[in-house]
Structure 1
């Protein structure tokens, strides 16, 4: 069999509709051609998968999570993908690399729109395999537009690249197929079912039960003869769209088996809905600070507090100033003998003022609250410039301003702080700090290993962990936990395969 021609395309962003931030062109790294091919190490020339097909990289847009995407930006990328697919085809397959929680201003179900445009461009015979984040949402229209679909199985997402490779492996396996197999016969069945559960990611870490055991079921399902792939999407809670809920898709050639497995899996998730708990003990910011400050002088460091409501890697704007204002107002933190690190707020004007003052100079600036001003706008930060670091590929210029014991990290552009080196590059030693407050939810691996103790603060912002106070108006109801006493839902999967009539399993 001749090597198949397989296109590569996608747009990946996780975007909160509860954040006023708008993701424009500045938010996206757009790759085409060889640069896009090189994004995937497992597709390098000379590797098994790299040589298994003629790879045609089209366009991929990747953004740090944020607010909804500007409609013109999305449409420009979508249309270029569709036009180039139509012009450079035909294709045997397409690898669609998406996140699954993209929101676009004025539009609902953006991934389904993208997948539908891709399908129209490549035609009915091309097999499409989609790779997604488990915090994506799988609507019926998205499921219909693709043939194969899978997602991460770990949160934190330590298996992100493994998942993309699995999506490509599944696509190649179907394209290789038995000699003489017709294109229609290569298409597996999808057993698709949504579960009316919407939970924040910080309640669904696979480090803990019940998510740990639920995801551990997947290899046993995949091992069954007639099943190709099984996937469980926790869903994305900070978008207000009907598609936002958990989902299961079991893919395989045995439609009856795929349907029964998807139903059993979905039922297990529903039964466990009340067992999902936050990945760490929680409290208000004041409660978390009280506990951190009450420890004795010989306590191990650092005490890490997640400033979860403005987590930029979940869609927060990254400039909510509320937590920094609370830190500056604490009398105990006016003592320079302590070290408290806050990461971070992006504010280019405050950065420019600190640069003008220079290291050791005094500054009196208003910081943050310019994009997302709730529940307060900019806060006054008076102190000394501790360090200036230029050329960060994500954040641009970064300054640290010390006020009492508070070391406030201010960036020129939005940046998450997940690595120890993110701090040490600024002249800070997070291991020796008394308290590290970081805009994050569950801790990424290096921070998790670093923390001597850890609390998750339920702070305000576009990704507020308290979903009930956000004000969802467009999700499908009833939905747990919004309707805690709702009756058991109908979890019969829909069986679908391109060219066949959909039916309930």
Structure 2
């Protein structure tokens, strides 16, 4: 399409939004990057990287947030409208863009709107016109309605959960875009949705059947005549008609991409009852009893129902309330535990004030949590001593540690996921020397997985409850497994776009 160095814009908005959480992801939740700062955010566009000099890259605007609740309409519309206005301005000054890298998640819910990413893609397409190739890069826990697939000339997603290939996927999306700009132009796409909706903790690529299925996705992507292949699990904690698995195979061999898309879709459907939790999973009582009876240290427990990296509000206290009543973690109980974490701005400030005035060991008696999501349980009372307080964490703000008997509770000003050993050791905590570490997470991220001597997935309530049927979906485009019964096998026919 172009013989000179192409001009490529980067834009997008990325968040995973649970519609079952009362949390709202406003401006405070988003990090905004524009211009050179946005371009520099991508490691594969660093100075000297092969893709850096393959195009003239322009950072338009990207808004990124930790997963949370739905996005208020005015926040989304302001981001969308700035992207559109900036694209129009740049093109008026410098001419049309050859390509655009659209970086989205795929599970953004905007209050009062379905298919937010498709709306964003439509606005971007209107701004740049039909001559600009759009390459969309996504999380595999996103949804792909037909509109989004149509509006994207190229589209792909991660192939690993946990997402160790997140940057690799974005680089693949950029490389595919540049390759097609060298002359071949927009490929065809074979798209189909698979009526299955499962949580990420049952579809982790650490184990089969997902491990084998995603290996097959990579094999298809390498076939002659195929540009890329992608399989989306979908996002289980939003109640929108498009929430379900999807397959897109992109390429020039139309017969091949249709056949392979349908084969991948059928393979995923046929495995629907074979997906299991990535670790032993049980209710709270069984998990805690198993951890306390085990000689493995540290024993990790995932407080999965309020996982902030899946969209939970982060301040559900249901699990913590029970830990505070556990005799094993009481003063003199003989066992130690860490709880990561509980956000409550007022409580964190009170704890930090006590630490500043009296230092380590300062007594504290404060109520915390359930300020946003109080459905499963109200605030808890933390009566203990302060072991740590600091300010300036880019995610958490004020960060404190309150010890109640043998239990150390990380209490923060804002939500923060605890995924790395340094997140704990920076607070003076020793997770490796602790009996039980309870983390608000689903499947363990790589550092925690490597650190854990053993672990279980604790099935707890919250906005990202693993018991999907308990949540009350009612807007899915029926039938979808496991929510509905099927009168017949789905056809699983790919549409050539």
Deviation digits for residues 178-211 of structure 1 (CA, Å, limit 9, x no counterpart)? xxxxxxx611100000000000000000000000
CA distance in 1, matches of 2:485, 2:330: 44
Task: Determine whether 1:357 maps to 2:363.
Answer: no
Partner of 1:86: 88
Q: The residue matched to 1:229 in structure 2 has which SS?
A: strand
Q: The residue matched to 2:249 in structure 1 has which SS?
A: strand
CA distance in 1, matches of 2:53, 2:176: 16
CA distance in 2, matches of 1:388, 1:260: 58
Q: State the Cα distance separating 1:79 from its structure 2 match.
A: 0.3
**TM-score normalised by L of structure 1:** 0.95
Partner of 2:175: 169
Q: The residue matched to 2:243 in structure 1 has which SS?
A: coil
Task: Determine whether 1:303 maps to 2:299.
Answer: yes
Partner of 1:212: 211
Q: The residue matched to 1:273 in structure 2 has which SS?
A: coil
Q: The residue matched to 1:42 in structure 2 has which SS?
A: helix
Q: State the Cα distance separating 1:332 from its structure 2 match.
A: 2.3
8 A contact 1:480–1:486 mirrored in 2 = no
CA RMSD of aligned residues (A): 1.0
Task: Determine whether 1:422 maps to 2:419.
Answer: no
Aligned residue pairs total 486
Q: State the Cα distance separating 1:10 from its structure 2 match.
A: 0.4
Partner of 1:4: 6
CA distance in 2, matches of 1:22, 1:485: 35
CA distance in 1, matches of 2:437, 2:152: 43
CA distance in 1, matches of 2:50, 2:431: 42
CA distance in 2, matches of 1:416, 1:164: 23
CA distance in 1, matches of 2:160, 2:108: 20
Q: State the Cα distance separating 1:486 from its structure 2 match.
A: 4.7
Q: 1:293 to 1:45 in 2, by over 3 A?
A: closer
CA distance in 1, matches of 2:28, 2:218: 40
CA distance in 2, matches of 1:458, 1:219: 32
Q: Which of the residues 345, 350, 357 maps onto 1:348?
A: 345
CA distance in 2, matches of 1:66, 1:494: 33
CA distance in 1, matches of 2:55, 2:84: 21
CA distance in 1, matches of 2:58, 2:190: 30
8 A contact 2:17–2:108 mirrored in 1 = yes
Partner of 1:499: none
What pairs with 1:327-346 in structure 2 (closer than 5 Å)? 327-336=323-332, 337-346=334-343
Q: Which moved more, 1:375-384 or 1:37-46?
A: 37-46
Q: The residue matched to 2:52 in structure 1 has which SS?
A: coil
Partner of 1:503: none
CA distance in 1, matches of 2:29, 2:348: 19
CA distance in 1, matches of 2:447, 2:43: 23
Partner of 1:325: 321
8 A contact 2:228–2:251 mirrored in 1 = yes
Q: The residue matched to 1:45 in structure 2 has which SS?
A: coil
8 A contact 1:30–1:62 mirrored in 2 = yes
Q: The residue matched to 2:339 in structure 1 has which SS?
A: strand
Q: The residue matched to 1:489 in structure 2 has which SS?
A: coil
Task: Determine whether 1:13 maps to 2:15.
Answer: yes
Task: Determine whether 1:144 maps to 2:141.
Answer: no
Partner of 2:266: 267
**TM-score normalised by L of structure 2:** 0.96
Partner of 1:236: 235
8 A contact 1:322–1:374 mirrored in 2 = no
Partner of 2:106: 100
Partner of 1:116: 122
CA distance in 1, matches of 2:318, 2:65: 25
8 A contact 1:7–1:94 mirrored in 2 = yes
Deviation digits for residues 379-414 of structure 1 (CA, Å, limit 9, x no counterpart)? 111111111122211111111111111111001111
Q: State the Cα distance separating 1:374 from its structure 2 match.
A: 1.7
8 A contact 2:36–2:58 mirrored in 1 = no
Q: State the Cα distance separating 1:484 from its structure 2 match.
A: 4.8
Partner of 1:455: 456
8 A contact 1:478–1:486 mirrored in 2 = no
Unaligned runs of 5+ in 2: none
Q: The residue matched to 1:449 in structure 2 has which SS?
A: helix
Q: State the Cα distance separating 1:485 from its structure 2 match.
A: 4.9
Q: State the Cα distance separating 1:44 from its structure 2 match.
A: 2.3
CA distance in 1, matches of 2:230, 2:304: 27
Partner of 1:182: none
Q: Which of the residues 123, 136, 143 maps onto 1:130?
A: 136
Partner of 2:79: 77
8 A contact 1:479–1:486 mirrored in 2 = no
CA distance in 2, matches of 1:213, 1:486: 28
8 A contact 1:306–1:441 mirrored in 2 = yes
CA distance in 1, matches of 2:49, 2:329: 55
8 A contact 1:317–1:372 mirrored in 2 = yes
Task: Determine whether 1:57 maps to 2:63.
Answer: no
